């Protein structure tokens, strides 16, 4: 190759690197949602599996409420405090996290029913089902109220 072609190629590559670096601060300051799930693209905490109890007699009498849960997972390399984060459904039932910290790659299940909180299981202490088996949306928000992740299911998702 000639010197001219090599210089041209290196100039184009350098210009591309400058443009890429200049674009970084804009994307880093404004979190964007992954429209496939409603997840912040830069979030390391995500909603995982959601298990609803259904609407049978067990759900009405509270026997299956601890079988109704949402998994929250920290996929990042650093611990994340969930203090004052919220988990809501489409009917605005709100669960507010207490002093919970998720270590790297740790998950916690948030059960609807009653129980004693542990590092792996948290309980909303409700007496009725929260998650609709036909159609619902789970929304996880951080302590400032920003949407971190959402998960919807069923016909006519909201």
pLDDT digits (tens, 9 = 90+) for 87-127: 999 999 999 999 999 999 999 999 999 999 999 999 999 99
Give the E-state strand segments of 41-146 in sequence order. Answer: 45-51, 69-74, 80-81, 86-88, 94-96, 101-102, 107-111, 121-123, 135-141
Average pLDDT of every residue of the chain: 78
Q: Mind giving me the DSSP string for 93-118?
A: -EEE--S-EEPTT-EEEEESS-----
Percent of the chain with pLDDT over 90: 58
pLDDT value of residue 120:
96
pLDDT digits (tens, 9 = 90+) for 116-131: 999 999 999 999 999 9
pLDDT band at 15; cut points 50, 70, 90: low
pLDDT at 63 over 90: no
pLDDT digits (tens, 9 = 90+) for 18-50: 444 343 333 333 343 343 455 555 679 999 999
Neighbours of 11 (CB within 10 A): 10
Q: Which of helix, strand or coil describes residue 85?
A: coil
Q: Which tops the pLDDT comparison, 43 or 154?
A: 154
pLDDT band at 9; cut points 50, 70, 90: low
């Amino acid at each position: 190759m000639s010197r001219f072609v090599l210089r041209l190629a290196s100039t184009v590559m350098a210009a591309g690197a400058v443009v890429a670096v200049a674009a970084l601060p804009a994307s880093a300051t404004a979190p964007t949602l992954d429209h496939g799930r409603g997840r912040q693209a830069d979030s390391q905490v995500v909603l995982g599996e959601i298990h609803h109890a259904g609407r049978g007699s067990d759900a009405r009498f509270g026997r299956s409420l601890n079988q109704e849960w949402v998994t929250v997972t920290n996929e990042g390399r650093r611990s994340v405090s969930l203090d004052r984060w919220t988990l809501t459904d489409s009917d605005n039932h709100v669960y507010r996290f207490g002093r919970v910290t998720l270590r790297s790659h740790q998950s916690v299940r948030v059960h609807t029913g009653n129980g004693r909180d542990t590092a792996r299981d948290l309980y909303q202490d409700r007496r009725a089902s929260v998650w609709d088996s036909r159609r619902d949306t789970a929304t996880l928000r951080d302590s400032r109220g920003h949407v971190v992740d959402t998960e919807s299911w069923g016909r006519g998702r909201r």
